[in-house]
Amino acid sequence: MTAVPAGSNTVNPFIVTDDAAGLIDFLIAVFGAVDVPEARTNDKDGLILHSELRVGDSLLTIADRKPDWPFTPALTRVYVDDVEATLDRAAARGARIVTRPTDFFGDTLARFQDPSGNLWWVYRHDPAAAESTWSDSDEASWSADAADQDAGDWTGFTSPELEYIHETLVDTMRSLKDPRDR
């Protein structure tokens, strides 16, 4: 097992955004994130250089984007107990719902774009449903189908739900704009 500092995971997302303080407040309200105030560091220009939030068992670092830095939206997956309630909290705070809750191999998947332009995948995992939806024989079949198809073609195992999930992602990614250019 890889050694990591206490309180960290092997992978810890780092989001650079406009209005880091606003995004911190948003994530506290939407996901019940816990701010780690002793980690907050401001740069000489007053912008947040480093902050840490605990979301469940994960550590998320957030910093302000400098005036000459490019827009780099974060694409982050979060598992929650209640997808609808999470979307309601996000929308009430200015998020745009991108993908309504949809069955995704036995889990529930939804997406929203926060006011800073970051895209959040929100999942509710149901181990029993996921296990009954995706079996070893499905995996073997999918692998065989994938070998017979052109690289990147997933249409052999698509469904209306998967089409919707794919279309909402493609549309959203095409529409991403730097918040400073709005």
| Domain locations in the chain as residue ranges | 1-70, 73-176
10 pLDDT above the threshold of 60: yes
Q: What is the pLDDT of residues 131-180, one digit of tens each?
A: 665 555 455 444 455 455 455 665 666 889 999 999 999 999 999 999 99
pLDDT for the residue 24 = 98
User: Fold identical between 1-70 and 73-176?
Assistant: yes
Under a CB-based contact definition with an 8 Å cutoff, are residues 62 and 18 in contact?
Answer: no
pLDDT score for 141? 46
What is the C-alpha to C-alpha distance for residues 91 and 152, in angstroms, rounded to an integer?
Answer: 33
- How many other C-beta atoms can be found within 10 angstroms of the C-beta atom of residue 60? 22
Stated pTM of the model: 0.84
Q: Bridge-partner residues for 16, per DSSP?
A: 63
Q: What is the pLDDT at residue 76?
A: 96
pLDDT score of 133: 56
91-98 average pLDDT score: 98
**Domain 1-70: assigned CATH number:** 3.30.720.120
What tens digit of pLDDT does each residue of 53-75 get? Answer: 999 999 999 999 999 999 999 99
Pairing assessment for the beta strands 48-55 and 34-35 based on DSSP bridges: antiparallel
Q: What fold characterizes domain 73-176? A: 3.30.720
Sign of CA dihedral 15, 13, 21, 48: negative
